Structure formats: structure tokens, C-alpha cells
């Protein structure tokens, strides 16, 4: 173990540069966030992930945000275990009928101000599961959605861009 | 061929057209006999599924991996319960009762499973009666006594993970009983498949469980091709195996890191996470998608491999880095302390439940669908079937370590010997060939032109099974899907008994069952 830790000290990190977020996107997000959010959040966001019915593809890529290549924590973004500690809910999946209450309760347990990010094509528009008796629809059919990150699943870099946008927008003003 | 299979084929009422293995119709007596034979360990239950007026049971011959499907007509809506004598069928029968309203006579557990009372409809694939969607109460199994307390976890968990509910009954720190309640991510996939085109169905099946999307698409394509008699070009067959091994490699690396992280050993997760990321990037460079979703289609593959250099470089790098991680795992006593003798699954239970993948193989069940029944190109490739006997978390880690090396070996062999040629055979052509009336046949005679196919493919998690009935226009009339998790989830309940509550995450991660694949 000692050798690996030493190596880690001297090797160049694999972590990559932050993706740039276009100004127009930032303006739009900043407008949506509002002044209160800016004052309270500073430059950090705590995120609670909620799978509301996904195939677990989106979860794999959200996990990847934590690996050394993307290292999401360097931006002040942190995944937390409880909605009580969260500013942002990242919701994946078409919302299934069986998860609707779980999602609503998680949202209710999150203190304001709070934002909902719909991650993936299912969360954005119910995806290939639209016509089923067992699905309610996209996340916006159940909760107010502030940011949509499309993709099946969205690549980590696309999610990183969306989240950095959220944080930059909250720091503006 | 096992004696049971011979006996079944001899006693069958009729033999239906299903490729590549036969589907036979049976009466209730033969259905019961087959159930008893499975319960006695003479064969393995591979799946149990329903239609509004029929039950199907797929039986795996342990000698050669051949499947036989038994069909029982259920005109009065009831059939002799398989779960009564063979517990692995319990949840499947509860789900069938929920979705189709069929009654498994004698089923010892009549609580609803997938139906949480939230759909606004009962028996959605059967009578489909509208009801209020306010949710049903769920009576958990009792565990009573003065020192016991209950811990309720989920459906929303602490990590980035799928939803499900776990009810622990504990005596102090020791788990006396774990009861799972799943179904939260039920998306009605069987219902969605009925009446879709092959392309639409393929996209749905690719999203049964995102982590094994390649294996699911592989199995779906094979079932469709078996039904329609489509010959797949050699290059496509080899590219499919390449994608399947990349998927296995990525997931095993993620799981090894994840298991160690659940023992608070984050260093392994950090390093395994980097290697996993390298596999995903190489997959993207080669096939245009990190998880290779929708890349395997009926008839072949959707994209060709033009440049294998990214995969080669990745494989070389993992061969260089991974042995050090294995050494790290092997030499860290505090980590081994958490994994050795934790969450032991007995060989007997693994066999009875037909546990596939690392879960079964780490408990001595030497089954891998790539070997038996086997499917191309694996017969032409050289790889070892890794097994362990001890059945604990440690065994499941070593199992995956062994399979990482085997997958690297397979990837290199495939790249060395990849045949040239086309990558797909158009399915539409096979369909129009089928529509031409056979010589000597009466063109006006009404006949059932549907055709059926069955396929089993080894995902990183174990064998996935797809059954399809397709009409002459290439539309899917019915589909049945079975994820390996279906038989692994109940075994987690057994393996966790007598362990401490704090060891649940590491046990759960070492099984890594799919919620989505099991809830469908």
C-alpha cells in the first residue's frame, strides 16, 4: 500500500480540466436561481440522487462523476446521504407509479431553497417507457424541474457541465 | 441429455415450433412431476412466465445447458403452484398473479409483489380492472421476541443506488431476518413489448438493466434471430462478444472497487474507478457509446470497429495496473477482516436457486452460459470457467478478479482473430422469405404464422434469458425476460442471516443484484 500511496504523490493527477459553460446558459440559470439562492449557497451544492425508476444506466454515469477523472468534489459539489442535507435533487428515470410517493417525500424532506435536476432522457420525457400503466411520466409531471440534462445516459461531462452551470449561476450577482 | 428431459419430451402432448430448443405442451400432472423433479434437484428452474391463458416454465438441463419449455393451458385461470415445492419460483408466481390474475394453487405466500396498489389498475395484463391508486399496506413477515427490533431502509437509500426496501429484524447488532420488498422500479416492460416492432422492442430490452445493456441486447438479438432463422455474419458475432467482455470488465472493476469501498477502503475504489473509466472511454472510442447501448441489434451489430487501438491500449494498461490492486487487496489484513467469512452463501442454496454469475460461481455452481449451453463465438475462444467454493464476500471478490483476467484474455483473442466482412444481415429480408408460402402448401389455408425463439446470454451478473414470439410482419407478440437477479435477491436474504447490520452494504454490493432487471 505504501508504494501505491507514494506513487500517488508523485504521479500527475488524471483529473481533467473543467468543461466550460456557455454564458447564455449561465444567464438563464442565474435568472432561475434567484438572489436568495446566491446568498445562501455561495459556491457549493449538496446533491441527493434519487432513482425514481431508472434502468440504472444513469446511476452508473453519476457514479463516474466521483472518479478521479471528473472529481466532482473539487467544484464544491457533494453527494449527500440524506435529502435533509441537500440543496439539489438529481432525479433519474421515468417516474414509476410505485416510486412516486418516495420521490414526493424526498422532495418534501429537502429544505428550501432547493432545485431539481432531471437527469437522462427518461427523466426528461419518460423515454421508451412512456406508454406503460406503471409509469407516471417525466420528472416534471411530479416535481418542478429547474434543469434538464438529456442523454441516454448523459455522459459525466454533460452532467458536470450542467452542475457547474448551476453553481456558477448561484455565485453570480 | 438428462433422464428428466427425455421423460418430458416423451410424455409431451404436442411439440411447438420454438428455436433452438423445443416448447412442449403438458397436462397438469406432467407439470407437477416436472416441478417435483426440479425441487429434487434433477434440473434447474430457468424461468416461469405467463400469458392470459397459459403458463410457461423453462427448465435447464444441468448436463448440457439445454432448455426445455413446458406450457400448461390454464383455461380456468389457475395452475399448480411451482413455488409450493420449489421456493425460487415464489416471487415469480406472485408477480404473475399481480400482472395476469392467474392463481397459483397452493402458493404459500399470497401477498402482492410488484403491485403496490399504485397503478390504478389490477391485473394490468389480464382482466385490467380499474381501482383507486392509493397504495396497499404490506404485511412484512413477523420476527418476534423481546430482544428484537426492526430497522426499515429504503426505498430511497443513502447512496447513488436503485430503490428498494429492506426490513431488518435484528437482535442487537446481529441480523435475524432480512426481508426485501422490491417492485419500486417496475416499469411494465412485458406489457410494453407486446405489439411493438423489433426495433422498438430492442430499445426497451436494452434498458431492462443499464449495467448489462450489452448482454440484454445480445440475448434479445439471439432470440429474434433464432425465431426468424436469421444467420448473423461472423464479424458481427465476434464484435458482440467483444462488447460483452468490455461490459463485463467495466462492471467487475467497478464492483471490486465498490465492495472494498463498503469496507471503508476508498483507495481501491479510487484505483478501480480509474480503470473502469478507461474501459468506458475505450468502448466509446471503439463503438461510439460508453455503455455500448443499442449497439447490438437483431441481424448483427449497429456499428463496425474501425480502430481497435484504444481497446488495445486500455487492455495493456489494465494488465500493468491491476495486479498491484490485487496484491493490495490480498495484503491488507483490515480489509480481508471484513470480507472473509462474511455473507456466506451455501453451495446447496446456490444450486437450488440456479444462482448465475459470480454469486453462483463463488459458491461452487460451475455454470456459465458462455460454456453451457454455449453460443458463438465462445466455442472458438479459449477461456477458463472461474469458480470458488467458500461462498463469502471474499470469494465473490476473487471470483471477479479471476474474471477480469479472463475477460482481458478474451478481448485480446477477439482482436487478434476478428474476421472481416459485413456486420449485419438485414432482418427485413429474412421476414419476406418467411412470408413466401411453402411449396405444396395451400396459400389460402389459415395458419398460425408466428414463430418463437429463446436465448440465454451470460451478462457480468449471470445468465439473462429472453423468450420472444414474433408474427410474420416481424412484430413482437409477446416477450418474456428474466434477469439473473430474480434468483439472486432471495439468496441475499439467506446469506445475510447471522451477520451484523453494518456488514449489510458490503454483502449487498458483493451480490450487486439489479433492481430494475428484477422489477422489470
CB contact (8 A) between residue A134 and residue B277: no
pLDDT band, very low/low/confident/very high, at B170 (cuts 50, 70, 90)? very high
For residues A103 and A138, what is the distance between their CA atoms, to the nearest angstrom?
Answer: 12
Give me chain B's average pLDDT, please.
93
Closest CA of chain B from A173, distance in Å: 32
Range in A57-61, A120-124, B431-435, B465-469 the model is least confident about: B431-435
Task: Tell me which residues of chain B, numbers 26 to 85, contact chain A at a CB-CB cutoff of 8 Å.
Answer: none
For residues B382 and B367, what is the distance between their CA atoms, to the nearest angstrom?
Answer: 16
Closest CA of chain B from A42, distance in Å: 25
| Average pLDDT rounded to a whole number, residues B39-44 | 94
Question: What's the pLDDT at A173?
Answer: 45
Q: Which residues contact residue B140 at a Cβ distance below 8 angstroms, ignoring those fewer than 6 apart?
A: B167, B179, B181
pLDDT band, very low/low/confident/very high, at B314 (cuts 50, 70, 90)? very high
Q: Cα(first)–Cα(last) distance of chain B, in Å?
A: 33
Place of cell 425514481: A52
Q: Which of B124, B135, B155, B187 to mutate to test the interface with A (most CBs of A within 10 A)?
A: B187
For B119, the closest of A1, A82, A134 (CB atoms) is A134
DSSP B276-342: HHHHHHHHHHHHSSSS-TT-EETTEESS-----HHHHHHHHHHHHHHHHHHHHHHH-HHHHHHHTTS
Range in B114-123, B179-188, B383-392, B447-456 the model is least confident about: B447-456
For B162, the closest of A5, A51, A67 (CB atoms) is A51
CB contact (8 A) between residue A82 and residue B158: yes
| Average pLDDT rounded to a whole number, residues B228-240 | 95
**Between A146 and B443, the higher pLDDT residue:** A146
- With beta carbons under 8 A apart, name residues in chain A contacting B516: 54-56
- With beta carbons under 8 A apart, name residues in chain B contacting A6: none
C-alpha dihedral (B504, B507, B511, B512), degrees to nearest 10: 50
Q: How much of chain B exceeds pLDDT 70, in percent? A: 97
Could you tell me how many CB contacts below 8 A there are between chain A and chain B?
A: 145
- Greatest alpha-carbon span in chain B: 78
| Average pLDDT rounded to a whole number, residues B338-357 | 96
For A60, the closest of B156, B163, B211 (CB atoms) is B211
Task: Tell me which residues of chain B, numbers 231 to 260, contact chain A at a CB-CB cutoff of 8 Å.
Answer: 254
Question: What's the pLDDT at B366?
Answer: 95
- Domains recognised in chain B with CATH numbers: 3-130 (3.30.460.80), 189-436+448-518 (1.10.645.10)
Q: Which residues contact residue A10 at a Cβ distance below 8 angstroms, ignoring those fewer than 6 apart?
A: none
SS3 B213: helix
Where b means 16+ CB within 10 Å and e means fewer, A33-65 reads: beeebbeebeeebbbbbbbbbbbbbbbbbbbbb
Report, in angstroms and rounded to the nearest whole number, the Rg of chain B calculated over CA atoms: 23
**Of B60, B66, B70, B51, the residue nearest B13 (C-alpha):** B70
- Residue B306's alpha-carbon distances to B234, B262, B311, B408, in angstroms, are 16, 39, 11, 20
pLDDT of B439 higher than 60:
no
pLDDT band, very low/low/confident/very high, at B495 (cuts 50, 70, 90)? very high
Q: Which residues contact residue A22 at a Cβ distance below 8 angstroms, ignoring those fewer than 6 apart?
A: none
pLDDT of A23 higher than 80:
no
pLDDT of B145 higher than 90:
no
Report, in angstroms and rounded to the nearest whole number, the Rg of chain A calculated over CA atoms: 17
Question: What's the pLDDT at A36?
Answer: 56
Q: What is the pLDDT of residues A71-115, one digit of tens each?
A: 888 888 899 999 999 999 999 999 999 999 999 999 999 998 899
For chain A, say whether B285 makes contact (Cβ under 8 Å): no
For B163, the closest of A51, A81, A131 (CB atoms) is A51
Query: CB of B379 within 8 A of CB of B424?
Result: no
| Strand partners of residue B514 | none
pLDDT of B444 higher than 60:
no
CB contact (8 A) between residue A59 and residue B210: yes
Question: What's the pLDDT at B17?
Answer: 84
SS3 B249: helix
Question: What's the pLDDT at A41?
Answer: 63
Closest CA of chain B from A5, distance in Å: 9
Pinpoint the alpha helices (H) of A11-137. Answer: 23-41, 57-64, 100-109, 121-125
For A129, the closest of B160, B192, B290 (CB atoms) is B192
Pinpoint the alpha helices (H) of B82-138. Answer: 90-100
Pinpoint the alpha helices (H) of A91-171. Answer: 100-109, 121-125, 156-171
| Average pLDDT rounded to a whole number, residues A18-47 | 68
For residues B414 and B22, what is the distance between their CA atoms, to the nearest angstrom?
Answer: 32
Indicate the DSSP class of residue B259.
H
pLDDT of A38 higher than 60:
no
Phi-psi category of A93—alpha, beta or left, where left has phi over 0 and alpha has psi -120 to 50? left
- Residue B254's alpha-carbon distances to A7, B328, B508, in angstroms, are 22, 16, 14
- And the C-alpha cell for A138? 417525466
- And the C-alpha cell for B336? 480481508
| Average pLDDT rounded to a whole number, residues B46-55 | 96
Indicate the DSSP class of residue B212.
G
Indicate the DSSP class of residue B438.
P
Indicate the pTM of the whole model.
Answer: 0.94
For B184, the closest of A62, A81, A98 (CB atoms) is A98
Q: Cα(first)–Cα(last) distance of chain A, in Å?
A: 47
| Average pLDDT rounded to a whole number, residues B35-46 | 95
CB contact (8 A) between residue A96 and residue B185: yes
- Residue B212's alpha-carbon distances to B163, B246, B290, B415, B487, in angstroms, are 18, 11, 12, 22, 16
- And the C-alpha cell for B107? 402458493
Q: Which residues contact residue B340 at a Cβ distance below 8 angstroms, ignoring those fewer than 6 apart?
A: B392, B393, B394
Question: What's the pLDDT at B440?
Answer: 46
Which H or E run includes B431? Answer: helix B427-435
pLDDT of B97 higher than 80:
yes
Question: What's the pLDDT at A16?
Answer: 84
pLDDT band, very low/low/confident/very high, at A5 (cuts 50, 70, 90)? confident
Question: What's the pLDDT at A127?
Answer: 85
Closest CA of chain A from B15, distance in Å: 34
For residues B252 and B241, what is the distance between their CA atoms, to the nearest angstrom?
Answer: 16
CB contact (8 A) between residue A63 and residue B291: no
For residues A55 and A153, what is the distance between their CA atoms, to the nearest angstrom?
Answer: 10
How would you list the strands of the sheet with A45-51, edge to edge? A77-79, A45-51, A88-92, A115-119, A147-149
Place of cell 447490520: B501
Closest CA of chain A from B4, distance in Å: 37
Question: What's the pLDDT at B437?
Answer: 53
For residues B347 and B363, what is the distance between their CA atoms, to the nearest angstrom?
Answer: 5
Question: What's the pLDDT at A164?
Answer: 82
For residues B277 and B281, what is the distance between their CA atoms, to the nearest angstrom?
Answer: 6
Q: What is the pLDDT of residues A112-158, one digit of tens each?
A: 889 999 999 999 998 899 999 999 999 999 999 999 999 999 999 99
Task: Tell me which residues of chain B, numbers 458 to 517, contact chain A at a CB-CB cutoff of 8 Å.
Answer: 514-516
CB contact (8 A) between residue A106 and residue B156: yes
Indicate the DSSP class of residue B364.
T
Query: CB of B45 within 8 A of CB of B354?
Result: yes
Number of H helices, E strands in chain B: 17, 19
- And the C-alpha cell for A93? 428515470
Question: What's the pLDDT at A172?
Answer: 60
pLDDT of B321 higher than 90:
yes
For residues B349 and B354, what is the distance between their CA atoms, to the nearest angstrom?
Answer: 8
Question: What's the pLDDT at B441?
Answer: 46
Amino acid at each position: 500500500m505504501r508504494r501505491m500511496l507514494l506513487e500517488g504523490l508523485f504521479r500527475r493527477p488524471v483529473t481533467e480540466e473543467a468543461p466550460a459553460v456557455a454564458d447564455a446558459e449561465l444567464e438563464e440559470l442565474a435568472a432561475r436561481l434567484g438572489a436568495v439562492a446566491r446568498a445562501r449557497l455561495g459556491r457549493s451544492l449538496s446533491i441527493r440522487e434519487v432513482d425514481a425508476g431508472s434502468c440504472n444506466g444513469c446511476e452508473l454515469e453519476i457514479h463516474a462523476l466521483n472518479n478521479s477523472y471528473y472529481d466532482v468534489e473539487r467544484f464544491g459539489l457533494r453527494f449527500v446521504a440524506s435529502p435533509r442535507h441537500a440543496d439539489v435533487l438529481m432525479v433519474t428515470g421515468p417516474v414509476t407509479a410505485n416510486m412516486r410517493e418516495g420521490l414526493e417525500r424526498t422532495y418534501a424532506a429537502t429544505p428550501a431553497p432547493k432545485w431539481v435536476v432531471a437527469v437522462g432522457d427518461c427523466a426528461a420525457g419518460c423515454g421508451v417507457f412512456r406508454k406503460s400503466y406503471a409509469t407516471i411520466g417525466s420528472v416534471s409531471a411530479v416535481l418542478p424541474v429547474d434543469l434538464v440534462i438529456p442523454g441516454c445516459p448523459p455522459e459525466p461531462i454533460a452532467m458536470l457541465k450542467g452542475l457547474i452551470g448551476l453553481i456558477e449561476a448561484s455565485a453570480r450577482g | 441429455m438428462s433422464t428428466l428431459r427425455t421423460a418430458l419430451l416423451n410424455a409431451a402432448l404436442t411439440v411447438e415450433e420454438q428455436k433452438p430448443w423445443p416448447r412442449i405442451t403438458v397436462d397438469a400432472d406432467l407439470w407437477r412431476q416436472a416441478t417435483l423433479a426440479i425441487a429434487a434437484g434433477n434440473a434447474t428452474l430457468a424461468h416461469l412466465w405467463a400469458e392470459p391463458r397459459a403458463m410457461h416454465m423453462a427448465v435447464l438441463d444441468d448436463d448440457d445447458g439445454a432448455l426445455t419449455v413446458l406450457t400448461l393451458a390454464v383455461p380456468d385461470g389457475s395452475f399448480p403452484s411451482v413455488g409450493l415445492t420449489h421456493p425460487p419460483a415464489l416471487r415469480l408466481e406472485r408477480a404473475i398473479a399481480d400482472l395476469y390474475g392467474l392463481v397459483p394453487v397452493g402458493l404459500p405466500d399470497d401477498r402482492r409483489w410488484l403491485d403496490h396498489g399504485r397503478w390504478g389498475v389490477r391485473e394490468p395484463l389480464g382482466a385490467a380492472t380499474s381501482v383507486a391508486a392509493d397504495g396497499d399496506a404490506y404485511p412484512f413477515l413477523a420476527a418476534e421476541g423481546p430482544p428484537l427490533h426492526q430497522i426499515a431502509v429504503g426505498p430511497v437509500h443513502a447512496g447513488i443506488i436503485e430503490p428498494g426496501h429492506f426490513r431488518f429484524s435484528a437482535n442487537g447488532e446481529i441480523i435475524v431476518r432480512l426481508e426485501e420488498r422490491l417492485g419500486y422500479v417496475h416499469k411494465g416492460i412485458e406489457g410494453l413489448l407486446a405489439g411493438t416492432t423489433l426495433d422498438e422492442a430492442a430499445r426497451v430490452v436494452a434498458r431492462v438493466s443499464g449495467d448489462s445493456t450489452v448482454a440484454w441486447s445480445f440475448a434479445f438479438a439471439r432470440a429474434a434471430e433464432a425465431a426468424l432463422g436469421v444467420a448473423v455474419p461472423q464479424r458481427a458475432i465476434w464484435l458482440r462478444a467483444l462488447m460483452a467482455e468490455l461490459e463485463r470488465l467495466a462492471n467487475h472493476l467497478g464492483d471490486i472497487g465498490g465492495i472494498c469501498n463498503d469496507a471503508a477502503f476508498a483507495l481501491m475504489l479510487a484505483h478501480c474507478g480509474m480503470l473502469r473509466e478507461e474501459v468506458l472511454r475505450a468502448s466509446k472510442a471503439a463503438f461510439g457509446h460508453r455503455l455500448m447501448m443499442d449497439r447490438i441489434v437483431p441481424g448483427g451489430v449497429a456499428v463496425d470497429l474501425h480502430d481497435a487501438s484504444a481497446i488495445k491500449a486500455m487492455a495493456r494498461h489494465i494488465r500493468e495496473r491491476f495486479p498491484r490492486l490485487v496484491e493490495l487487496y490480498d495484503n491488507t489484513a483490515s480489509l480481508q477482516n471484513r470480507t472473509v467469512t462474511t455473507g456466506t452463501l451455501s453451495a446447496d442454496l446456490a444450486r437450488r436457486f440456479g444462482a448465475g454469475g459470480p454469486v453462483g460461481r463463488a459458491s461452487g455452481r460451475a455454470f456459465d452460459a458462455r460454456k453451457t449451453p454455449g453460443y458463438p463465438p465462445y466455442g472458438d475462444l479459449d477461456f477458463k470457467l472461474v469458480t470458488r467454493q467458500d461462498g463469502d464476500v471474499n470469494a465473490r471478490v476473487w471470483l471477479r478478479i479471476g474474471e477480469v483476467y479472463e475477460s482481458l484474455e478474451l478481448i485480446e483473442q477477439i482482436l487478434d482473430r476478428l474476421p472481416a466482412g459485413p456486420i449485419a444481415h438485414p432482418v427485413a429480408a429474412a421476414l419476406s422469405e418467411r412470408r413466401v408460402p411453402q411449396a405444396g402448401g395451400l396459400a389460402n389455408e389459415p395458419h398460425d404464422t408466428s414463430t418463437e425463439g429463446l436465448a440465454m446470454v451470460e451478462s457480468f451478473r449471470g445468465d439473462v434469458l429472453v423468450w420472444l414470439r414474433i408474427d410474420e410482419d416481424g412484430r413482437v407478440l409477446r416477450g418474456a425476460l428474466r434477469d439473473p437477479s430474480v434468483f439472486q435477491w432471495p439468496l441475499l436474504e439467506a446469506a445475510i442471516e447471522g451477520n451484523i447490520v453494518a456488514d449489510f452494504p458490503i454483502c449487498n454490493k458483493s451480490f450487486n443484484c439489479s433492481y430494475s432487471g428484477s422489477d422489470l
